[in-house]
Amino acid sequence: MKKYITISREYGSGGRLIGKMVAEQLGYAFYDKEIIDMAAEESGLSAEFIKKTEQNLSSGWLYNLLLGTSYAGTSAGGVGQPVGQAVLPLADQIFNAERKIILGLTKEPCVIVGRCADYILSTSDQIDNKDLLNVFIYADIEAKIKRIEEIYKETESCAKKTIIQIDKRRANHYNTFTENTWGDRKNYDMMINSSTAGIEATAKWIVEMAKY
């Protein structure tokens, strides 16, 4: 039985809802936006600031400094801690805080949505990869547009624009702070098109896969 399930997802694919359903069916803890409040306490930055900027800022300062050794895979020091004479950029401070929170969440079985959790856990020596299930959820563009239209009451053109922008930010953030490529099938145990069978069936597939 997998103890930890990470859900990476395209915007509008229903990934958050699917993750929540999986957690409920397995009796696991569920973390998504809750990580923002935890990271705020860890970093000293406001939750509102982190919410607005966590995927809008890309730095990779420490990633570049280490010449290919991912920041996510290193031992994290205190958030905002000087390295030499420099202070980590805000993007790195936020990522570092969220990384520490995510690793701390593994004291119990859980489902974690987004925030590079798949990479953070798979590269940590604290986690046995046999206990980890990394899932990427995507959907047909028509289904994503319809979902965003219904939830946020956006027009079709606005919904499509929002989807493209948010997915681009997610990819840039992930590609900056990890050594992997967002959405590349080699990085996940499962890739599911939620348009194929719907939200509930997709959640059931993940639950079944978690049993192995």
Provide the number of structural domains found in the chain. Answer: 1
Note the pLDDT of residue 89: 78
**Domain extent at residue 43:** 4-205
**Residues 18, 138 contacting (CB under 8 angstroms):** no
CATH of the domain at 57: 3.40.50.300
210 part of a folded domain: no
Residue type, 208: E
Residue 17 inside a domain? The answer is: yes
Residue 180 pLDDT? 96
CB atoms inside a 10 Å sphere around CB 83: 12
In a domain, 211, yes or no: no
Q: Give residue for tokens 């027009």.
A: 155
What pLDDT, on a 0 to 100 scale, did the predictor assign at position 88?
A: 74
> Which amino acid, residue 144?
K
Residues 134, 102: Cα–Cα separation, whole Å:
14
Residue 122's SS3 state is helix
Residue 140 to residue 118: CA distance in whole angstroms: 23
- How does pLDDT run along the chain (212 residues), one tens digit per residue? 999 999 999 999 999 999 999 999 999 999 999 999 999 998 888 999 888 877 675 555 544 444 344 444 443 334 444 445 456 778 888 899 999 999 999 999 999 999 999 999 999 999 999 999 999 999 999 999 999 999 999 999 999 999 999 999 999 999 999 999 999 999 999 999 999 989 999 999 999 999 99
Question: Which residue, among 133, 132, 134, 170, has the nearest Cα to 12 in the 3D structure?
Answer: 170
Q: What is the pTM of this model?
A: 0.86
Look at the block and give the residue holding tokens 């202070």.
87
Count other Cβ atoms within 10 Å, centred on residue 175.
16
Q: Are 16 and 96 in contact (CB under 8 A)?
A: no
In a domain, 101, yes or no: yes
Q: How far is CA 22 from the centre of its chain?
A: 16
